Structure 1
Amino acid sequence: MSNTVESTDRYAIHEELPEPATFLALREAAGMPPRSLEGVECGLPNSLYGVIAVHEPTGEVVGMGRIVGDDGTVYQITDMAVHPDHQGRGLGTKIMDALEGYLEETAPPNAYVNLMADVDGFYERFGYEETRPESKGMFRRTE
């Protein structure tokens, strides 16, 4: 994963995963729950696909998103984050466009794609809908 997918005048979306420290910093800046460095170092390489948003003038990674799953029946979009200093510039949409492109190219018919939405009104434009009342999202954190 190292191709440039799309660029704007100041940002570029690259098909690659962030470094673990960058991953942790972006999650923190975006107000997302923390992850352990040990978990991140183990988990990132097991991603199916990932993209980063790079601020071209500085080379700083300012956004990310990735897909995890079995690459056949189940896919989960996760770790969508854009640094608050760079929000409002369409980077989340560009990241989702790249993730959706991967799914369109690789996911077989009837694959299940899910995500946990932290914002209302964003993911719906990509065709995602709430699962209730048919099912409900649940989670648990390890200690």
Structure 2
Amino acid sequence: MNEQHSGAEVRVLYEAPKVNEYLKLREQAGMSPRSQEGAAKGLVNSLFAVSLYDEAGLAGMGRVVGDGGCFMQVVDIAVRPDLQGKGLGKTIMGEIMGFLEEHAPPLTYVSLIADVPADKLYQRFGFEYTAPASLGMYWRKKA
């Protein structure tokens, strides 16, 4: 599938990017780093992945992870900085929502951690804040 965004053609592929592309995009987008080992294991275990490419390479991506039934999590929503604000995040979320609508069983709990101001994008797709009833928490293994 090809889409036009502000004059640039973007190819939409339903696959995770290569490990090196993934790590580079996370860095470019200002996201926390991941290990080569973790990325290699995690990317192939995605329930769903969408990658956007332009003439310069990986332009954006997003994934769904989880058990495929009761719990799913939207992760790795990232757009290359030179393309931010051009609707690619909306394209990525639209593809993810299409997957969830088609494949998530009834009552599946789909979560995500929203960085501000991206929370406004996720609200447009029906995501709600969990606070004050619950708060997101995390643990990360030290390098």
The question of a shared fold, defined as TM-score above 0.5 by the shorter chain, is answered with yes
Answer yes or no: is 1:104 the counterpart of 2:132. no
Q: Distance in 1 between matches of 2:116 and 2:51?
A: 20
Q: Give, in angstroms, the shift of residue 59 of structure 1.
A: 5.6
Q: Distance in 1 between matches of 2:116 and 2:135?
A: 17
Percent of aligned pairs sharing the same letter: 47
Answer yes or no: is 1:23 the counterpart of 2:22. yes
Q: What pairs up with 1:30-109 in 2 under 5 angstroms? A: 30-55=29-54, 58=55, 60-109=57-106
Matched residue type, 2:99: Y
Instruction: Work out whether residues 13 and 94 of structure 1, in 8 Å CA contact, stay in contact via their aligned partners in 2.
Output: no
Matched residue type, 1:47: S
Q: Give, in angstroms, the shift of residue 61 of structure 1.
A: 1.1
Tell me the alpha carbon deviations over residues 87-136 of structure 1, each in whole angstroms, 9 at most, x when there is no partner.
Answer: 11100000000000000000011000000001231110001111011111
Alignment RMSD: 1.1
Aligned match of 1:7: 3
The secondary structure found in structure 2 opposite 1:38 is helix
Point out 4+ residue stretches in structure 1 off by more than 2 angstroms.
Answer: none
The secondary structure found in structure 2 opposite 1:75 is strand
Q: Distance in 1 between matches of 2:51 and 2:56?
A: 11
Listed as ranges, the gaps of 5+ residues in structure 2 are none
Aligned match of 2:136: 137
Q: How many residues align?
A: 137
Q: TM-score, normalized by length of structure 2? A: 0.92
Q: Give, in angstroms, the shift of residue 12 of structure 1.
A: 2.2
Listed as ranges, the gaps of 5+ residues in structure 1 are none
